[in-house]
Protein backbone atom coordinates (compact mmCIF):
# COMPACT_ATOMS: atom_id res chain seq x y z
CA UNK A 1 0.00 0.00 0.00
CA UNK A 2 1.36 3.42 -0.94
CA UNK A 3 0.86 6.40 1.34
CA UNK A 4 0.57 9.87 -0.12
CA UNK A 5 2.70 12.33 1.90
CA UNK A 6 2.40 15.99 1.08
CA UNK A 7 4.74 17.42 3.73
CA UNK A 8 6.76 15.84 6.52
CA UNK A 9 7.29 17.12 9.13
CA UNK A 10 4.02 18.98 8.88
CA UNK A 11 5.48 22.20 10.30
CA UNK A 12 7.98 22.50 7.42
CA UNK A 13 6.06 24.40 4.81
CA UNK A 14 8.18 25.16 1.77
CA UNK A 15 7.76 28.75 0.71
CA UNK A 16 9.05 29.93 -2.68
CA UNK A 17 12.35 31.79 -2.53
CA UNK A 18 12.38 35.45 -3.37
CA UNK A 19 15.90 36.73 -3.91
CA UNK A 20 16.81 40.40 -3.53
CA UNK A 21 19.73 42.74 -3.13
CA UNK A 22 20.08 41.33 0.39
CA UNK A 23 21.83 37.91 0.24
CA UNK A 24 19.67 34.92 1.17
CA UNK A 25 21.73 32.92 3.67
CA UNK A 26 20.52 29.75 5.36
CA UNK A 27 20.67 29.88 9.15
CA UNK A 28 23.05 26.90 9.25
CA UNK A 29 25.62 28.49 6.92
CA UNK A 30 28.85 29.97 8.28
CA UNK A 31 30.46 33.03 6.69
CA UNK A 32 33.73 34.54 7.84
CA UNK A 33 35.43 37.72 6.59
CA UNK A 34 33.85 37.55 3.12
CA UNK A 35 32.04 39.78 0.64
CA UNK A 36 28.68 38.48 -0.58
CA UNK A 37 26.86 39.92 -3.61
CA UNK A 38 23.23 40.75 -4.27
CA UNK A 39 20.66 38.15 -5.37
CA UNK A 40 22.86 35.40 -3.94
CA UNK A 41 21.58 32.21 -2.31
CA UNK A 42 23.76 30.36 0.18
CA UNK A 43 22.27 27.02 1.15
CA UNK A 44 22.29 24.95 4.34
CA UNK A 45 25.60 23.89 5.81
CA UNK A 46 27.72 26.06 3.51
CA UNK A 47 30.98 27.60 4.68
CA UNK A 48 32.49 30.69 3.06
CA UNK A 49 35.71 32.06 4.51
CA UNK A 50 37.89 34.96 3.38
CA UNK A 51 36.25 34.89 -0.05
CA UNK A 52 34.25 36.92 -2.55
CA UNK A 53 30.89 35.48 -3.67
CA UNK A 54 29.53 37.79 -6.33
CA UNK A 55 26.04 38.77 -7.55
CA UNK A 56 23.43 36.12 -8.49
CA UNK A 57 25.67 33.17 -7.58
CA UNK A 58 24.34 30.34 -5.44
CA UNK A 59 25.71 27.41 -3.45
CA UNK A 60 23.17 24.60 -3.09
CA UNK A 61 24.27 23.24 0.28
CA UNK A 62 27.18 21.80 2.28
CA UNK A 63 29.64 23.62 0.02
CA UNK A 64 32.99 24.83 1.35
CA UNK A 65 34.47 27.96 -0.24
CA UNK A 66 37.71 29.16 1.29
CA UNK A 67 40.25 31.73 0.03
CA UNK A 68 38.43 32.11 -3.30
CA UNK A 69 37.00 34.63 -5.74
CA UNK A 70 33.65 33.43 -7.11
CA UNK A 71 32.22 35.46 -9.98
CA UNK A 72 28.65 36.39 -10.87
CA UNK A 73 25.89 33.94 -11.87
CA UNK A 74 27.81 30.89 -10.69
CA UNK A 75 25.95 27.64 -9.95
CA UNK A 76 27.66 25.60 -7.25
CA UNK A 77 26.08 22.23 -6.50
CA UNK A 78 26.00 20.60 -3.10
CA UNK A 79 29.15 19.31 -1.39
CA UNK A 80 31.49 21.25 -3.67
CA UNK A 81 34.85 22.12 -2.13
CA UNK A 82 36.80 25.13 -3.36
CA UNK A 83 40.36 25.41 -2.05
CA UNK A 84 40.47 22.41 0.32
CA UNK A 85 43.05 22.04 3.08
CA UNK A 86 46.33 20.30 2.50
CA UNK A 87 48.88 18.42 4.60
CA UNK A 88 52.70 18.77 4.63
CA UNK A 89 53.81 15.60 2.85
CA UNK A 90 57.46 16.69 2.97
CA UNK A 91 57.61 16.50 6.77
CA UNK A 92 58.29 13.47 8.93
CA UNK A 93 54.58 13.43 9.76
CA UNK A 94 51.83 15.00 7.70
CA UNK A 95 49.51 15.11 10.72
CA UNK A 96 48.13 18.57 11.42
CA UNK A 97 49.71 18.70 14.87
CA UNK A 98 52.82 20.16 13.17
CA UNK A 99 50.91 23.25 12.02
CA UNK A 100 47.96 23.35 14.46
CA UNK A 101 50.46 23.23 17.28
CA UNK A 102 48.44 25.18 19.84
CA UNK A 103 45.59 22.63 19.84
CA UNK A 104 47.98 19.88 20.89
CA UNK A 105 49.92 21.93 23.41
CA UNK A 106 53.20 21.76 21.46
CA UNK A 107 53.64 25.53 21.09
CA UNK A 108 52.07 28.88 21.88
CA UNK A 109 51.61 29.73 18.17
CA UNK A 110 50.53 27.84 15.06
CA UNK A 111 52.59 27.44 11.88
CA UNK A 112 51.74 30.77 10.24
CA UNK A 113 53.71 30.07 7.05
CA UNK A 114 51.86 26.83 6.42
CA UNK A 115 48.47 28.59 6.47
CA UNK A 116 49.85 31.53 4.47
CA UNK A 117 50.64 29.23 1.54
CA UNK A 118 46.97 28.32 1.14
CA UNK A 119 45.87 31.94 1.41
CA UNK A 120 48.39 32.90 -1.25
CA UNK A 121 47.01 30.23 -3.62
CA UNK A 122 43.47 31.52 -3.93
CA UNK A 123 41.03 29.88 -6.33
CA UNK A 124 39.42 32.07 -8.99
CA UNK A 125 36.05 31.05 -10.39
CA UNK A 126 34.88 33.15 -13.35
CA UNK A 127 31.32 34.21 -14.17
CA UNK A 128 28.48 31.84 -15.09
CA UNK A 129 30.48 28.77 -14.01
CA UNK A 130 28.69 25.51 -13.15
CA UNK A 131 30.35 23.24 -10.62
CA UNK A 132 28.63 19.86 -10.35
CA UNK A 133 27.95 17.84 -7.23
CA UNK A 134 30.98 17.23 -4.98
CA UNK A 135 33.46 18.98 -7.27
CA UNK A 136 36.83 19.75 -5.68
CA UNK A 137 38.82 22.75 -6.92
CA UNK A 138 42.40 22.56 -5.70
CA UNK A 139 44.33 25.58 -4.37
CA UNK A 140 45.54 28.07 -6.97
CA UNK A 141 43.27 26.87 -9.77
CA UNK A 142 41.42 29.31 -12.06
CA UNK A 143 38.19 28.25 -13.76
CA UNK A 144 37.24 30.45 -16.69
CA UNK A 145 33.92 32.14 -17.32
CA UNK A 146 31.17 29.88 -18.70
CA UNK A 147 33.01 26.66 -17.83
CA UNK A 148 31.33 23.45 -16.64
CA UNK A 149 32.89 20.98 -14.21
CA UNK A 150 31.30 17.53 -14.04
CA UNK A 151 30.16 15.98 -10.77
CA UNK A 152 32.86 14.65 -8.42
CA UNK A 153 35.67 16.00 -10.60
CA UNK A 154 38.92 17.06 -8.95
CA UNK A 155 40.24 20.15 -10.72
CA UNK A 156 44.03 20.38 -10.46
CA UNK A 157 44.71 22.61 -13.48
CA UNK A 158 43.20 25.79 -14.88
CA UNK A 159 40.04 25.45 -16.96
CA UNK A 160 39.54 27.63 -20.05
CA UNK A 161 36.44 29.80 -20.52
CA UNK A 162 33.42 27.80 -21.76
CA UNK A 163 35.32 24.51 -21.45
CA UNK A 164 33.63 21.37 -20.12
CA UNK A 165 35.83 19.17 -17.92
CA UNK A 166 35.22 16.03 -15.87
CA UNK A 167 37.02 13.21 -14.12
CA UNK A 168 39.75 12.66 -11.53
CA UNK A 169 41.84 14.55 -12.24
CA UNK A 170 39.57 16.74 -14.38
CA UNK A 171 40.28 16.56 -18.12
CA UNK A 172 38.81 18.49 -21.06
CA UNK A 173 35.69 16.93 -22.59
CA UNK A 174 34.67 19.59 -25.10
CA UNK A 175 34.06 23.29 -25.57
CA UNK A 176 30.52 24.58 -25.13
CA UNK A 177 30.74 26.81 -28.21
CA UNK A 178 33.04 27.61 -31.13
CA UNK A 179 36.03 29.91 -30.61
CA UNK A 180 34.21 32.69 -32.45
CA UNK A 181 31.12 32.45 -30.24
CA UNK A 182 33.22 32.29 -27.08
CA UNK A 183 35.17 35.38 -28.08
CA UNK A 184 31.96 37.31 -28.73
CA UNK A 185 30.34 36.25 -25.45
CA UNK A 186 33.45 37.27 -23.53
CA UNK A 187 33.40 40.59 -25.36
CA UNK A 188 29.73 41.28 -24.60
CA UNK A 189 30.22 40.56 -20.88
CA UNK A 190 26.48 40.30 -20.20
CA UNK A 191 27.20 39.35 -16.58
CA UNK A 192 28.22 42.96 -15.94
CA UNK A 193 24.88 44.39 -17.08
CA UNK A 194 23.03 46.27 -14.38
CA UNK A 195 19.70 45.03 -13.07
CA UNK A 196 17.58 47.22 -15.35
CA UNK A 197 19.49 46.15 -18.47
CA UNK A 198 19.32 42.50 -17.46
CA UNK A 199 15.54 42.66 -17.01
CA UNK A 200 15.11 44.47 -20.32
CA UNK A 201 17.17 41.90 -22.23
CA UNK A 202 16.27 38.84 -20.15
CA UNK A 203 14.38 36.96 -22.86
CA UNK A 204 17.36 37.20 -25.22
CA UNK A 205 19.52 35.01 -22.98
CA UNK A 206 18.05 31.75 -24.30
CA UNK A 207 19.11 31.99 -27.95
CA UNK A 208 22.88 32.20 -28.46
CA UNK A 209 23.00 33.08 -32.21
CA UNK A 210 20.29 35.72 -31.85
CA UNK A 211 21.93 37.07 -28.71
CA UNK A 212 25.28 37.51 -30.44
CA UNK A 213 23.68 39.00 -33.53
CA UNK A 214 21.90 41.55 -31.38
CA UNK A 215 24.61 42.48 -28.87
CA UNK A 216 27.90 41.29 -30.38
Catalytic site positions: 87
| Closest alpha carbon to 118 in 96, 135, 143, 133 | 96
DSSP secondary structure string for all residues of the chain = -----S-SSTT---------SS-EE-TT-EEES-EE-TT-EE-TT-EEES-EE-TT-EE-SS-EEESEEE-TT-EE-TT-EES-----TTSS--SGGGTSTTTTTS-SS--HHHHHHHHHS-EEE-SS-EE-TT-EE-TT-EE-TT-EE-TT-EE-S-B-TTEEEETTTTEEEEESS-HHHHHHHHHH-GGG--HHHHHHTGGGGG-HHHHHHHH-
Query: How many Cβ atoms are within 10 Å of 114's Cβ, its own excluded?
Result: 17
Amino acid sequence: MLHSIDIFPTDRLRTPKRLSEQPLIHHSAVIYESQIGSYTDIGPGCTIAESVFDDYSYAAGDASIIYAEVGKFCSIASHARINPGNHPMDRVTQHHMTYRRVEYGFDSTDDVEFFKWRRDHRCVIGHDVWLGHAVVVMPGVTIGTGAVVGSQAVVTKDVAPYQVVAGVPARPIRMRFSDDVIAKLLSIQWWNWDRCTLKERFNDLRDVPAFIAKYG
